[in-house]
Chain A
Amino acid sequence: MKASVSSLYQAVELSQPIPPLLIGERCNTNGSKKFREMLLADDFDGCLQVALDQEAKGAQVLDICTAYAGRDEKADLKRFFTMLIGSVKLPLMIDSTQPDCIAEILKIYPGRCIINSINLEDGGANLHKVCTLAKKYGAAVVALTINKAGMAMTTAEKVETAQQIYDLAVGEHGLRPQDLLFDPLTFTIGSGDESLHDAAIQTLNAITQIKKQMPGVRTLLGVSNISFGLRPAARKVLNSVFLHEAVEAGLDAAIVDTAKVIPLAQIANEDRDVCSDLIYNRQKNADKNALMAFIDYFEEKGDTDDQDESQQDIAAEKLLGQMVLKSNKDGLDDVLTILLGRYKPLDIINTLLVPAMRYVGELFGKGEILLPFVLQSAEVMKKAVAFLEPFMDKADASDKLKVLLATVQGDVHDIGKNLVDIILTNNGYKVYNIGIKVPAETIIEKAKEYDVDIIGLSGLLVKSAIVMQDSMPQYKEAGLKTPILLGGAALTPKFVAESCVPGHAEPVVYCADAFAGLKAVREFEQGKLEPTVFETKTPATARKTTKNVEIDTNVPVPQTPFLGKRIVTDVDPTALYGYVNEQALFRGRWGYRRGKMTAEEYAMLTKDTVIPIYEKLKERGITENLIQPKVTYGYFKCHSKDESVYVQDGETTYEFAFPRQEFAPNLCIADFFKPETNGGDVAGFFVVTIGEKIGQIAKELFEKDAYHDYLMLHGFGVEVTDALAEYWHEQMRIEMGISAQRPDDVTGFVTQQYQGSRYGFGYPACPDLGAHEHVFKLLDPEDIGVTLTENMEMVPEQTTSAIVAHHPQAKYFAV
């Protein structure tokens, strides 16, 4: 008995005298980028042209799919079919999973069409609806061998699933066997996946057996899946050979790009052999499996690929991973849409996106890629998850591991914590980032409210480390059963192990960076998280240190233009760029390190990627008024006594105490200021800031998930702030008349090739941030918009302070 499908104009036999029946695949939002873009642009004339082109190229039926997240599938289908019915002579195939969409088309379709498709994934609910429609309107139906357990992989599974569908469709719904087109699924044999080595054989055998076991039914395949992951030129040949083999096995119809089917006669015998070896998994060469042999063969042949096709021809699964790795967002939604047709959203996240990010993290750990690229990958991940979220059940989101992040009380450092947020969020964890300056009480309250699994605390100040230590017992007493991760510059494994671990009942873990945090969270998941332990290493090898030096106590005291403080608000921002420490910016703040690159590769990266970012920011710094330099500074009479410098401001004397090195040359900052007996001295101070605008914009970037730009802008602000300090220090040397020796370049400034030194409070030679209280009395930084936190940090963030010594022997040293 024959079966045919038809349009208004013509009928086409499902079993062709010369099989297969060719079904054009290009009018499909999931398969053709060109088509999808036209549909999204509402260019239905363009869409129609795609249909007409296929008709011209030999298609006998056209598959039509307009499903696209965010669009009204039914409306699009209806509009497009209305046009097709009048213009295309070929019968059509409705490609939709929605019974109501299918019903809509069946109502208006004048001939007999094919429905693509039914399966048993949901146990049969959808199948019943669609078969009812097929029976009512007399349509043919494509049936995929998918059951509740997923896609059938082996011949046996494929045949069994087909039989189940057959029993329902024919047995219960009364469809005729010849109206069923079974698609036993094609999987790629081009990916190297071990479990798919014989995928082609399984499919080919299933074709033969289905037809034998269920006489009268037809079979159909989407052929091009067979070669996903391979080069386009090689794919064309493999697809055609596979199609031929499938027809030999009994295939009736194939969904193909008709323009690309090469008649077997046009394929060289040798090409054909290599293809069939791969299809039948025949290894002919001892040290090369069939796939390797295939790849090498076509590599050597060197046929050129059609450029425009190469992108969409890669399997969507693979493409998504590559998009994360190569941080490419173009067409991300399209790829996800295709994948949504194959997997549940949560599975896309857990089995495709998270492993891709994990791989990115591993590459970073091995020094193969740099931090800015990791952040760009995280942006792709974030965007993908945001796209998938609306398709997810609430329940899907709630079983993620939950992490609370906060910067501790009195500390305003944001970016370290935010980087941890970025890395954890984009590795599939739920992060509650509750901000900066958060008191322990609030952290405990929020941890309970959100019922988190882990708490992560950040803090860069020495004071913050103490805050962490002191608050550990609070967490314990509050009964929190969560481990605590600690991170930030002032912490060491030793401090955490000895001072924090004992305070809390659960593991307390030191994390050097965001990836150490990720590792800890993974260990927690695996039940392997251990508190930080500190093993005392063998004591540092005693080294020859510099001999004691004599500090000259008779250096002339410079003439300063004034005593007391002054404010300067008209510094030209462009003047600062010459002082920016580009090496520290590029490599340190931004993370564009040389890593494993050769000097040439690194020079290329710097030239092509880093410098353009820098130039752009420099320009924005001016045009968008991002840099608003303000200075308060002054000169004050002073004298030293032992380890202190006594600074005179009118009637008031302020004592600045400094530590002395316990090893030769036993330096102390006080040594660089003359004692009263030698006539005293003069000390300079400054507080400089570039204002808060850059910080605000950086924050907005973080909130917009523009992670890479966030890191770039933040780092830029940091180094411009330091440049302002460097610039102003030079102005003060000029004012004091000690600027004869001027460094040639930024390296010269870094290594202090000038007279005197500036010491920032909180740095090793003057570690007491508490001195800021005096500095604020001397300079009134409030007048330039700078205030102090209870931990002696200055707000805005991009602010820095120092005491300035003119003494020629004054240089940086550690205590």
Chain B
Amino acid sequence: MKYICINCGYIYDPTLGDPTGGIEPGTAFEDLPEDWTCPLCYVTKDNFDPID
């Protein structure tokens, strides 16, 4: 499932991962490290909402 950053609107798409943050494509949002932050605005994981 995709997740959206409530602070800036960035969308975490597990099929893409987060290359700048060292997250491999195929990583589910739930499996992101607890200290992972939004690559655009740097807020923490709890500031993300599931979408679709």
Q: Which residues of A contact B (CB under 8 A)?
A: 537, 540-541, 543-546, 581, 583-584, 587-588, 593-595, 599, 746-747, 750-751, 764, 812-814
Beyond the given pairs A587-B49, A813-B20, 16 more chain A to chain B contacts, judged by CB atoms under 8 angstroms and listed by A's residue number, are A540-B33, A545-B22, A581-B8, A584-B6, A587-B4, A588-B7, A593-B6, A594-B49, A594-B50, A594-B51, A595-B49, A599-B52, A750-B8, A750-B40, A751-B10, A814-B42
- Given that A540-B35, A594-B50, A599-B52 are contacting pairs, would A546 and B19 also be in contact in the complex, using a CB cutoff of 8 Å? yes
Q: Which residues of B contact A (CB under 8 A)?
A: 4-11, 19-24, 33, 35, 37, 39-40, 42, 47, 49-52
Secondary structure call for the A interface: loop
Determine the distance from Cα of A747 to Cα of B10 in the docked complex, in whole angstroms.
7
The list of the 4 closest CB pairs from A to B, nearest first, reads A543-B22, A587-B6, A583-B9, A588-B6
- Closest Cβ of chain B to A801, distance in Å, is 17
Determine the distance from Cα of A156 to Cα of B5 in the docked complex, in whole angstroms.
63
Which B residues are in CB contact (< 8 Å) with A812? 39-40
Determine the distance from Cα of A540 to Cα of B8 in the docked complex, in whole angstroms.
24
Q: Is the CB of B40 within 8 A of A546?
A: no
Which B residues are in CB contact (< 8 Å) with A546? 19-20, 22
- Given that A541-B33, A543-B33, A750-B40 are contacting pairs, would A584 and B22 also be in contact in the complex, using a CB cutoff of 8 Å? no
Determine the distance from Cα of A746 to Cα of B11 in the docked complex, in whole angstroms.
12
Q: Is the CB of A747 within 8 A of B11?
A: yes
Which A residues are in CB contact (< 8 Å) with B10? 750-751
Determine the distance from Cα of A327 to Cα of B35 in the docked complex, in whole angstroms.
37
- Closest Cβ of chain B to A119, distance in Å, is 54
Q: Is the CB of B9 within 8 A of A581?
A: yes
- Closest Cβ of chain B to A586, distance in Å, is 8
Determine the distance from Cα of A543 to Cα of B9 in the docked complex, in whole angstroms.
24
- Closest Cβ of chain B to A579, distance in Å, is 12
Which residue of chain B lies nearest to A543 when distances are taken between CB atoms in the complex? B22
Q: Is the CB of A746 within 8 A of B9?
A: yes
B20, B23, B47 — which one has the most chain A CB atoms within 10 A of its CB? Answer: B20
Which residue of chain B lies nearest to A581 when distances are taken between CB atoms in the complex? B9
Which A residues are in CB contact (< 8 Å) with B42? 764, 814
Which residue of chain A lies nearest to B7 when distances are taken between CB atoms in the complex? A588
Which A residues are in CB contact (< 8 Å) with B47? 588
- Given that A540-B33, A546-B22, A587-B4 are contacting pairs, would A747 and B9 also be in contact in the complex, using a CB cutoff of 8 Å? yes
Q: Is the CB of A750 within 8 A of B49?
A: no
Q: Is the CB of B8 within 8 A of A543?
A: no
Which A residues are in CB contact (< 8 Å) with B51? 594, 599
Determine the distance from Cα of A206 to Cα of B40 in the docked complex, in whole angstroms.
72
Q: Is the CB of A544 within 8 A of B22?
A: yes
Determine the distance from Cα of A594 to Cα of B47 in the docked complex, in whole angstroms.
11
Q: Is the CB of B7 within 8 A of A584?
A: yes
Q: Is the CB of A593 within 8 A of B49?
A: yes
23 contacts between A and B (CB under 8 A): A543-B21, A543-B22, A544-B22, A546-B19, A583-B4, A583-B6, A584-B6, A584-B8, A587-B49, A588-B6, A588-B8, A588-B47, A593-B6, A594-B51, A595-B49, A599-B50, A750-B10, A750-B40, A751-B10, A751-B40, A764-B42, A813-B20, A814-B37
